[in-house]
Amino acid sequence: MPTTPGLSVRRAALRLLDAVFRRGETLEIAEGAALSSIRTAPDRALARAIASETLRWLTDIDALIDSVTKQRLPDDAKVRMVLRIMLAQALRLDTPPHAVIATGLPLLAGGPRRLAHGVFSTLVKPGVSVLPDAPTLPPAVVARWAEERATAIAPGLAFPPELDLALKDTGETETRAVAMGGITLAPGHVRLPRGAAVESLADFKAGDWWVQDIAASIPARLLGEGANDSGAKNALDLCAAPGGKTMQLAAAGWNVTALDSSKRRLELLKDNLKRTGLKASPVRADALVWEPKHRFDAILIDAPCTATGTCRRHPDVLHRIGARQIPEMVELQRGLIARATEWLNPGGVMVYAVCSLEAEEGESQAAWIEANCGLTPMPIMADELPAGLTPTPEGWLRTHPGMLVDHGGLDGFFVARWVKP
C-alpha cells in the first residue's frame, strides 16, 4: 500500500518526543533508535527540527490547543502529541497547512482525526494563532530560574543557535571570519549563520577548527597560555570528552591529560584530536577513584551537570530536568572538586565550569569551594571576556542565552577560578 510521503518523518518526530517525555532521554540519545529507519540526512534533520520546535514552544502550543478544546486533552493523549507537532510545523517551520494535515491526520488512524482536524484548522486560520516573540517557559523552570532571570533568558530561546567555531590558530580569526561569511566575538571565534552543514565547511577535514559555542570556550581561555621559558606546563582536563576544551588547551601550548569516564565520548575526543592534529593524553577513568602520577599547573573541571544552559540547542532540557536531578549533580561536582584540589601544584590554577543555569551547580558551588577547599579566588577580569560580558562582583562569570542576543546569543555557563596557595 502506498504511504504518504513524509509520514515516516512525522512518526520519527513523535518517537523522539515520546523518548523525552516518557523515558526522560535527551534528544541526542533518543535519535539513535528513533531515527534509525529514516534514510536521508534532510529527513533526519526535519524530524529533529519538528521535535525541537515542539519542545521549544510547548507551553505556547499547548495554550493554543487548550483555547479551542471544550475539555482539556490529557498531556499524554496521542491527539495532543500529534496536534503539537502539527502546530510546530505550521507556526515555526512554515510547512503549508495542507501538507501538515496530510502528514498529521494519518498518525491518528482509528483515533480522533475529526477533532484534530477541527482544532488544527481553527488555529491556523489567518490571524488566529500568533506565538509570542519569545517562548513561554514551563512554570517549573520559571520557578527555578526566578521570574526576572527567566524573562531575560527567554528571548535567547526563540531560535536554534547559530554555528560557533573555535579556531586552532587564533591569529587567523579575522581572515577566516571574512572568508567564511561570519562574524567574530573574540580571538579564535567565528560565528556562522545557523543551518550551515558542518562537514562541508572549508577546512573541516584539515582540522583547522572545531564546533564550540562561544560560552563553552571561555573556561579554557581563562587558563591562558600553557608554555613558559621552561617548556609546556601540565594541565588536567578532568571531564574532557568530547574534547572542545582539551583542543583549546593543547592549541594554547599546554601538555594536556584529558580524562573522562565515558568510553564512547572519549572515542569522540580521540577522533577530534586526530582530525585537528592536536596532541593530548587521553585517559579513561572515573575521576572519583583515579590517582594521577604527578601534580598539575592547571586543572579544568568542566563538570557533569544538568546542562540546562544548552536549552537553545537542546530544548528537551526544559522538560526533562527538574529540581529532583540537581542534588545528585551537586554531590558529584563536589566530589570531583575535592579530588582535583589535591592534585594542584602550589600556584596552580583551577577553573570550575558548568553549562547549567541552576544556581546550585554554579554560584552555590563557588561559594562552597571558597568556604571548604583552601583555594584563593582568582577573579575573572572583564578584559579576559568577549566584549559585552562582565564578571559578577565576586569575580565569577554567569552567562545565559538572553545575553549578546543581538549578536545571536550564547549558551548558559557558570565559570569561576582559583589558585592554590
Site residues, ligand SAM (CB under 6 A):
239-245, 259-262, 265, 286-288, 302, 304
For residue 287, which of 347, 333, 226 has the smallest C-alpha distance? 333
C-beta of residue 397 within 8 angstroms of C-beta of residue 410: no
Residue number of the CB atom closest to ligand SAM: 239
Q: Which residue is it, cell 601540565?
A: 234
Q: Which three cell numbers stand for residue 187?
A: 580571538
Residue 230 CB, nearest approach to ligand SAM (Å): 27
What count of Cα atoms within 13 Å lies in the side-chain half-sphere of residue 180?
29
Q: Which is nearer to ligand SAM, 135 or 226 (CB)?
A: 226
Residues 103 and 97: their CA atoms lie apart, in Å, by: 10
Nearer to ligand SAM, 188 or 304 (CB): 304
Q: Closest approach of Cβ 249 to ligand SAM, in Å?
A: 10
The C-alpha cell that represents 412 in the structure block: 548558559
Phi-psi region of 409 (alpha: psi -120 to 50; beta: other; left: phi over 0): left
CB of 239 to ligand SAM, least distance (A): 3
By beta-carbon proximity to ligand SAM, the closer residue of 265 and 313 is 265
Question: Could you tell me the smallest distance in angstroms from the CB atom of residue 70 to ligand SAM?
Answer: 46
- How many angstroms separate the CA atoms of 404 and 386, rounded? 10
For 54, residues 6+ apart whose C-beta sits below 8 A from its C-beta are 13, 17, 61, 84, 85, 88
Q: Which is nearer to ligand SAM, 22 or 263 (CB)?
A: 263
Count of Cβ atoms closer than 10 Å to residue 103 Cβ? 23
**Do residues 183 and 387 lie in contact, with contact meaning Cβ atoms separated by under 8 Å?**
no
Of residues 11 and 270, the one with the C-beta less far from ligand SAM? 270
DSSP state of 254: -
Q: Which is nearer to ligand SAM, 244 or 408 (CB)?
A: 244
**In the complex, what is the shortest distance from the CB of residue 385 to ligand SAM, in angstroms, rounded to a whole number?**
18
Minimum distance between the CB of residue 382 and ligand SAM, rounded to whole angstroms? 24
Least spacing, CB of residue 353 vs ligand SAM, in Å: 8
Going by C-alpha positions, the residue among 353, 265, 357 that lies closest to residue 311 is 357
Q: Which is nearer to ligand SAM, 235 or 239 (CB)?
A: 239
For 376-404, b/e burial (b = at least 16 CB within 10 A) is eeeebeeebbbeebebeeeebbbbbbbbb
